[in-house]
A and B are shown apart, each in its own frame.
Chain A
Amino acid sequence: METKFRVTQRNGQYDYDLPPTGYGPMGAPSAGQTGNEAGTMEEVINEVAGSNENQESEGFGTEATGNEPTLTDGHRPMNSPQNRLTTNNNEGSLSDESAEADGAAPESFYESVEGWEENQPTESDPEAEPVVEASLADMEASEGGQEFFGALAALIVPLAKAVLPSLAGAAVKQGTKLVQGIVKPKAKKLSPAILQMLKQAGVNPAILKQLEFSEATDSEAGSDEATGLDETDVEALAQQIEALEVVIGVDDRARVNNTTVIPWKRICHLKIMAADGKSYLGTGFFIGPRTILTAGHCVYIHGHGGWPRQIVVTPGRNAESEPFQKFTATAFRSVQGWVTNKSRNYDYGVIQLPKNASVSPSIGSFGFGQFPDQFLLDKRLNTAGYPGDKPAGTMWFNGRKAKSVTARTITYDIDTAGGQSGSPVWFKDAMGSRIVVGIHTNGASSGNSATRITKPVFDNLKKWRLEGGAA
């Protein structure tokens, strides 16, 4: 049945019932951020940004530039009203004494900043790579089975393990088995003849190119080629690869069925109650014992009173299941570039749980860091969060390489949907640690994007993390 709808254009503002004075200082109307004046100023800024490369882009949808900002202090931290810090709405929360005990978690759970010195270059220097490591060692099994066929395994095995466990798992398994069956264990190279047959069978040229590249760079390959293949084998392999592509093309997202393990338990469902009483859903993730990183627009909602009245944080939510204690937070942090200037480039903030919040130490936190452009472009980026187009409270994962990066954003074709704002965008390093490089904030037909962790972002996160009880 078709949905009946009607869209009418209205003059003036919407008819929401904003509280008379908003909620706290940032929610209160002020000359700089309310009414037509602010809108007009933004429109002007946007116009200028479109014609001046050196102009800092403002607001959603304006592409970030690779140049220095005109905002002189966009990363200046801003806090929700101080009096809310004493407000504790935690469900089942403990006393401060208990919190102190809780805060005495083993230091190893929250490692200190590594690879970072105060005199390191600013964010404009792509070589600076400050990193806060993940707080707990990931306990996944090491990836095996890649010896037999480097490039294809690199495509299939990670997907089979993480991306498409429910949808494509069977196909991937079969494909892997097939590849294992037709390529000798020691043979790491496909012959040109096989590549040509795959090409004729209609396999995506992009994948074939990767296979060719792998062949060219694999010094160990030698001449030990797979032999004994017949047309049926190659055709079957082509079909398997094609099936894999189809699954990815239809819907890259895979549901996370067990949210009680790393890294999923570090990702939180957010139910946000704006200052004007409106409700929103988003995602956040732990970067410290009591600090949850998210999008700026989750902790400061323009047009709805600014700092939210409260956010209910549910770690590792899985539909109706809440495997960890949930918390109601009322203390938030963001930066001037978002709170005052509404700039997409500064769209990040954190939720600070109350000091007596008894967060399970087993949850741990994500590491995060700043990395050069090419490094980000080379890595497979992953994200997981709580999209609103899926069953309520279910977590979904997806991963892909970035399309492009700017000085302050990362753009990708990773499928996301409303509700995933604030999701971590991470890569997995050689040691298996997950390092966050961006905070997912925007959906767009032209490519979804994250606020990139740059030096000033890193500095603020480090500060907030310490404020939230990190050692």
Chain B
Amino acid sequence: MDYAFLLQVLDSTIRLSTPLLLACLAGLFSERSGIIDIGLEGKMLIAAFFSAAIAYSTGSVWMGLLAGIVSAMLLSAVHGLASITFHGNQLISGVALNFLASGLTVLIAQDWFGQGGRTPALLSGGRFSELTLPLAETLRPVPILGPLYAEVISGHSILVYVAFAMVPLTWWILYRTRFGLRLRAVGEAPEAVDTAGVSVAGLRYAAIAIAGVLCGLAGAYLATGLQAGFVREMSAGRGYIALAALIFAKWRPWYALYACLLFGFLQALSLRPDIVEAVLTVSVPVQLLDALPYILTVIILAGFIGKAIPPRAGGDPYIKER
């Protein structure tokens, strides 16, 4: 395999990691506050649809992005209503929201556009264009690093850079702000936070609102960055891979980045089985590459490579004693 091939794979790794990373950070905020979020997939899907639909009808990708974020936040609000206000089962709520998103997106798409559950293909104004970073062409002749900069780091849509910037931002919010401290506390010991006079419900709603925004970005990137329009089930299990990455990262932001890059790399490889075969000199079934993120997560969960300990209060509704 030559260097150009490697750069191609790395370039698609970045593209494919982006939605995983955004969804994974969404899950991180939510689960660190003690709300388990199976519904990342559904939020991403509904955001993908509304961002494509609104971007198509207004011709503005930014309006699309806004619509995507709002729709994902609405699903977050329902999740919050079920799991915070009404002390319901968070897992079941998440599962239901995933179904709701799968069904509603196709139903509305058929009603609005009549194209069998998809949106019309987006033209250039309805998509995020690819940014060329400064000096990308000037530096290209530099050996090794030049092409790396021009091919892999430069030339992505703005949402990719937003996603990667979210990692240090998330770290800073979680570990360097008062809000972050409280957020982590409410996921471990909500009764202590309550005793300190801080609203448990308020913090948790804030956390899932952030999760909604991030899932909205992830979905918008799928439909208006990675592809040009919405097709049914286009999230294709990415929400679950993000969940897997979150466990892999043991609920920490920087590790989430590494886990998402790894899983994105595996996805990129499964698109190019010929490369894998050339490098390993044996034929690897593409299905194995597809399943590898899930298999790795089960191994991590089993505690064979360090133990993954979730936030202690995750999944339990907080009921204030009278």
- Note whether A and B form a binding pair: no
Which residues in B have some Cβ–Cβ distance to A below 8 Å? Answer: none
